[in-house]
């Protein structure tokens, strides 16, 4: 599976541009699926289920520690991109931290200012059902300390996102995606997090989805 993801990235990066520069970034629908976050060195930083509300711009991502991966992190994030806040949840201990989001970039939505890069076909375009058409988008990271490349299907299902940044670059891949929110409860603030005060963001810190994995 990781090999497939990496191969896909390679294909994306070497695709010849059939540029239609007038394309505007699409917005993904409601989704439930599995996400993997790993460094370009192959270290898995998070693997688990996500739920995304495209209208409310809410994301829940819980790494699944019961899976036998050598993950270095255990995360449970509930992010509200519209409000610019997120919760780091510890369900076992029933505790959470509420923080401000300084950067709203995340791998399930293509930013409005992303630039269209190319359209490629992954697989065999000449056989019905064997090829999948993909749009590739790119842009700069907020602090200009890197850039990203995101690919999505024609239905705007994000397949993978690459973040080229220091100290390490990341690849985020999504799979087993369904176009619905299977469990809306996952997007609600847990009772033990309600009334939680907003933590102060230390000077120079930029909280974002990606920074949770650095
Ligand atoms: C997406 O989910 C939200 C929250 O459940 C719901 O309000 C909205 O209508 C859904 N959108 C679509 C297109 O199903
Ligand atoms: C973790 O993975 C196991 C095995 O696939 C699955 O049964 C379980 O529901 C998953 N847990 C979460 C929280 O996604
Ligand atoms: C898990 O990762 C750590 C740190 O990268 C490494 O030292 C260890 O050998 C890995 N274990 C396995 C079983 O891959
Ligand atoms: C959660 O509780 C366990 C056991 O009480 C403790 O060892 C651990 O440090 C706690 N984790 C956090 C994040 O507070």
DSSP code string of 98-124: EEE-S----TTS--TTPEEEEEEEEE-
The owner of tokens 């920074």 is 211
Looking at per-residue pLDDT, the higher value among 52 and 7 belongs to 52
pTM: 0.85
Rounded to the nearest angstrom, the distance between the alpha carbon of 13 and the centre of ligand 1 is: 33
Percent of the chain with pLDDT over 90: 69
- The full set of domains in the chain, from first to last, is 2-213 (2.50.20.30)
Closest Cα to atom 8 of ligand 1:
55
Lowest-pLDDT range of 3-17, 86-100, 131-145, 178-192: 3-17
Res 20: pLDDT: 52
The owner of tokens 């102060």 is 200
The atom number, within ligand 1, closest to the CA of 58 reads: 4
Ligand nearest to the CA of 179: 1
User: Which residues form ligand 4's pocket by a CB distance below 6 Å?
Assistant: 90, 93, 95
The atom number, within ligand 4, closest to the CA of 93 reads: 1
Lowest-pLDDT range of 65-69, 112-116, 145-149: 65-69
Percent of the chain with pLDDT over 70: 87
Alpha carbons 35 and 29: distance in angstroms, whole number: 16
Nearest Cα to Cα of residue 18 among 160, 135, 147: 135
């Amino acid at each position: 599976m990781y090999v497939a993801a990496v191969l896909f990235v390679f294909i994306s990066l070497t695709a010849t541009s059939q540029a239609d520069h007038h394309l505007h970034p699409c917005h993904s629908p409601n989704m439930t699926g599995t996400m993997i976050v790993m460094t370009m060195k192959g270290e898995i930083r998070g693997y688990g289920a996500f739920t995304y509300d495209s209208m409310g711009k809410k994301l829940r991502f819980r790494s699944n520690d019961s899976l036998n991966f050598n993950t270095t992190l255990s995360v449970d994030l509930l992010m509200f991109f519209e409000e610019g806040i997120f919760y780091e949840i510890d369900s076992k201990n029933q505790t959470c931290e509420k923080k401000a989001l300084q950067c709203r970039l995340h791998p399930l939505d293509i930013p409005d200012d992303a630039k269209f890069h190319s359209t490629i076909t992954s697989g065999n375009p000449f056989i019905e059902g064997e090829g999948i058409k993909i749009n590739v988008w790119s842009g700069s990271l907020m602090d200009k300390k890197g850039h990203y490349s995101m690919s999505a299907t024609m239905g705007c299902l994000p397949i993978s996102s690459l973040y080229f940044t220091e100290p390490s670059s990341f690849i985020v891949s999504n799979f087993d995606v369904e176009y619905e929110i299977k469990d809306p409860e996952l997007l609600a603030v847990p009772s033990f997090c309600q009334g939680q005060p907003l933590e102060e963001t230390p000077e120079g810190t930029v909280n974002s989805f990606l920074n949770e994995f650095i």
